[in-house]
Amino acid sequence: MAEDVLKVLIVDNAPLMCDFVHSVVAQMDGLTLLRANSYRTACDILASESIAILLTELNIDAQADLGLALIGRLRADEFAATSARIPIIVCSSGANRSLVRDALLFDVADFLIKPISTDIVQAKLVQHLAQPKELKSQAFYQKLQRYRAQQAEEKQPLHNESRAWVVLPEQDKPEFTADDESDDSDALYSMEEFIRWPDYVSTGNVVLDKHLQRLSFHVNGLHYAYKHRRPLAVLTKERENVCQAMTFLAQVVSRSYADNASDPLLQHLQQSLDTLNDLNKQLLALDLVRPQKLAEVLRDISHWWLATCSRQFMEKTQH
């Protein structure tokens, strides 16, 4: 019978929270609880025990993002004994909006605000063990985790000048080349441009430049695949590239806006995120076996780009 027991892991610095969850799990058949009161202990348990469901606080060891780091490592399949696709429930006494948004990008099953009742914890454990949330591909989470690590290394403070865009001399033009985020890239680099990143232009933020250019590149790739009737596998891959580029761009804009809400460009981009996120959802929901509606979504993406990132807009805002 011991082999049928599912292991629940609670990660929280507060002993009272761990004791509470232990009392809840003890009332449920077929479950046993493991507890971790630190990030290191949680990593050790995930690496050595086959965990069926994770409950974690985002604020671990007095660091607001260690819980998110744990979630990212789990989804990126960095723990040998535990599946990357187990349900994750965040139990937090409060977290800033950017951390919540990032946790949702890793497809946590639920987000519970403390204090939590016994009935709610029991109901959520039963629900998510019986009906796990549908997850994205493993590659998506690995790329998202790499992106977060890269962002932490290269994050640069924004300038405080009241400007939205600056035009650079030709020798300083930011370069963009396709990287490992696009694996099916054959014949896409010499294609005609559907949307365009204007020459010699920068936002003044190298990270934002990179992700705007990346979105442009992948939208052009998807348009090319659709227009030239590439195989379904290629069309699906190009759609995934665009959706990932939209997700990463939205995250960069939100983080940058949180750091410098007075920047006119960031104010404009922040206001456009709802539209971008809606387009992302529409694109993900399309049936690519019958891709007629893809043209409409691509048209709407081009309209968003024109209103947000076109040379016309840049010229209007540069003084």
For domain 2-130, the CATH architecture is: 3-Layer(aba) Sandwich (3.40)
- List C-alpha distances in Å: 163 to 137, 207, 254, 268, 302: 39, 17, 18, 12, 24
List the beta bridge partners of residue 36: 11
| pLDDT at 37 (0 to 100) | 93
* Three-state secondary-structure class, residue 195: coil
**CATH of the structural domain 155-317, one choice from 1.20.120, 1.10.3470, 2.60.40, 1.10.260:** 1.20.120
| pLDDT at 168 (0 to 100) | 39
| pLDDT at 48 (0 to 100) | 96
| pLDDT at 199 (0 to 100) | 58
Q: In the chain, which stretches have pLDDT less than 70? A: 1-3, 94-96, 151-193, 197-202, 204, 310-319
Residues 230-265 have pLDDT tens digits of 888 888 888 998 999 999 999 988 888 888 888 777
Residue ranges of domains in the chain: 2-130, 155-317
Exposed, middle or buried: residue 38 (CB in 10 Å: 0-12, 13-18, 19+)? middle
Place of tokens 């744990």: 70
| pLDDT at 95 (0 to 100) | 61
| pLDDT at 169 (0 to 100) | 40
Q: Can you say whether the dihedral through the CA atoms of 56, 57, 60, 64 is positive or negative?
A: positive
CB 103 within 8 A of CB 59: no
